[in-house]
Amino acid sequence: MYVARLTPDQYINRELSWIAFNQRVLAQALDQRTPLLDQAKFSAIFSNNLDEFFMVRVASLKSQVEAGISTPSEDGKTPQEQLLTIRKHLIPILQQQQEHYRHHLKHRLCEHNIHLLDYDQLVNRQRHWVDQYFQTSIFPVLTPLAVDPAHPFPFVSNLSLNVAAVIRDPETDQCQLARVKVPKKNLPRFIAIPPKLSENNTLPIHTAIPLEQVIAFNLKLLFPGMAIEGHYFYRVTRDADLELRELEADDLMIALEQGLRKRRIGGEVVRLEVANEMPNSVIDMLMTGLNIEEADLYKIDGPLGLDDLFSLTNLPMTELKSKMQTGQTPLVLSKTQQNLIDEGVIKPKEFETIFSVIRQQDILLHHPYDLFSTTVEEFINQAADDPKVMGIKMTLYRTSTDSPIIAALTRAAENGKQVMALVELKARFDEDNNIQWARHLERSGVHVIYGVLGLKTHTKIILVVRKEKDRLRSYVHIGTGNYNSKTSKLYTDLGLLSTRPELGQDLVELFNYLTGFSKQQSFRRLLVAPVTLRKGMESLIRREIDHAKADRPGMISAKMNSLVDPGIIGLLYEASQTGVRIKLIIRGMCSLIPGLPGLSENIKVISIIGQFLEHSRIFWFANDGKPEVYIGSADWMTRNMDRRVEAITPIEEPALRRKLERLFDLYMQDNRGAWDMNCDGSFTQRMPDKEQSERNSQIQLTYQWSRGLHPTQ
């Protein structure tokens, strides 16, 4: 294992790097070239990302501070210093988001007859309708809670939006605080007002008012006989990370369910958001009741919880959204689709099984440009129904709520096949969903396992065993993304379908490792974490270093979500110093600093942010004209290398390697969604010159795919 010796000025703090990534997400909302409803979507993604950041990363740092841990991070900051720096960086970014919402988004939406109104902007008939709606649809589910010596401060659940009502007793003239929880889980955040109530209803008008304002301006009905002195909104974020001791599988499920119940309520408060106009006296009462410090308080000049802007994307106004297509069946697989027979596109005799196509060639898939439903799901569906298939094994890290893959596995078990599914119960924020699927699969006769003790199984693999002419043949799918129908339309991911014997045997042994019946320490072609991945990646980087030292061209190109592992970063610095040319496409966190003279001047880093979330992982090593290329589930993060089960597969077919090389070129030439990382750790968004045409890699891939030309077709 390579031991990094990085100085603090050679490593960017991972939390600050994450904030920089989320700022690039927000920049999509602020960019006037982004369609209007997509601006709302990106602002919502920014808020949702930030919620998870506080629930997990900030919560972890606060726990370290409370435990008295002062060990500095790689960049030399103690946990307390990191918390203070996080706050310093976030405050101006939050102001940007709110200014965009108040001064741009709302006004532009009005131009398109989408009105997000405050209560005092309603005309009389709208106000009458809203008040009636409150009485019939909101009032019965509300529970006002007083705060006084007889009523202790109420528990405020995680991510809940609340109204702090200051009420006065006219008889005693005493004021007290009351809390009203806004029932967002039961009602929409934005209450739609019938168009006929608008002043001008000659055009289709979408009018809505925030749910919390409907409640706030009807508080008199909740506190009859009391005077309402004021109302203010606040929101609480709690520690939502699950700490689990190592347990056997049955106990793990029970422990997770107990932990999930705790998470729904929430752990310690890590953030209090309050409306900017809230008086200090009310803030002090909240801070005391929630037991938080000044550093945990965020004053917001606008509506809280803008993640609810997601709901605006459901409006039927396609002209205000990006026109991204949803994908197509790869030509090489089109004859395997039964629906084409049904539609009369091809004749039944031309039909081929997906297995016969895979036997002829490896198939490289690129989602969402290649449809997930007619590739990966079709692979599983045909395996479930094919009488020659003897067994199916696969890993499930995150899957969709209404999963066709779960249905196929259930059907395969009912058809008498040997079916094994590794369901990772510890997939963060998907634990509950995975517990339900695990139980469903077990009831259907699927053998369900929960992975290797002490490790999270993150790998994306399928093994199908088929009997052909008195022999068993293995068919494999090894991917970079989850087996999730929903996210397959939103994330860019790669996958390999192959029947190469060495890959099949590697997966047989990897599944044995996952079930606990093997202590496999080597694999033929796969790089597997935590067994061989780190050593394998270090060896591949070192080989490029050796080429450069021998005056042969050394080149590395890599694409991933995050790069924060100090060992890999140190080795890349060494490679740069020996003359290896390194191109990195890192969507999220990057703790490596490019372009530093004498250290990393041969390293270039870009980040692609667009309509699709760039999720694919590719590792390309020039190897003096004999390139080796890998795809798989792992980023260059310590957790992926050492604490997770991951699988990286080589792409053996030269034509497929060349397609991935062209894909890299397309990304590197992007001047719309690409950001260049600077040597101070900041990012600069690329903009086309006046004489340049706009090159958006995702749109180019969509365009090329529709003509059967995209690099991975």
Residues carrying an active site annotation = 458
Residue 354 burial by CB count (10 A; 0-12/13-18/19+): exposed, middle or buried? buried
SS3 state of residue 577: helix
* DSSP secondary structure letters along 603-626: EEEEEE-SSSEE---EEEE-TTTS
d(CA 473, CA 552): 41
- The residue among 203, 223, 218 whose CA lies nearest residue 130 is 218
d(CA 431, CA 243): 13
Amino acid found at 610: G
- End-to-end Cα distance, the chain: 37
Quick one: DSSP state of residue 368? T
CA dihedral defined by 256, 262, 265, 266, rounded to 10 degrees?
-100
- The residue among 208, 210, 160, 156 whose CA lies nearest residue 183 is 160
Return phi, psi of residue 422, to 5°. -90, 110
* DSSP secondary structure letters along 75-90: TS--HHHHHHHHHHHH
Amino acid found at 245: R
d(CA 306, CA 302): 9
SS3 state of residue 378: helix
d(CA 485, CA 483): 7
Helices (H) and strands (E) in the chain, counts: 21, 27
If you count them, how many residues does the chain have? 713
Return phi, psi of residue 79, to 5°. -55, -40
CA 657-663-664 angle, 5° bins: 95
- From the centroid of its chain, how far is CA 4? 29
The b/e string for 658-695 (b: 16+ C-beta within 10 A; e otherwise) is ebbbebbebbeebbbbbbebeeebebebbeeeeeeeeb
Residue 390 burial by CB count (10 A; 0-12/13-18/19+): exposed, middle or buried? middle
User: β-strands 491-498, 613-614: how paired?
Assistant: parallel
Quick one: DSSP state of residue 590? B
CA 633-638-640 angle, 5° bins: 20
From its phi and psi, is residue 708 left (phi > 0), alpha (psi between -120 and 50) or beta? left
- The residue among 502, 530, 538 whose CA lies nearest residue 619 is 538
Quick one: DSSP state of residue 101? I
Cβ–Cβ < 8 Å for 209, 114: no
d(CA 57, CA 84): 13
User: β-strands 145-147, 174-181: how paired?
Assistant: antiparallel
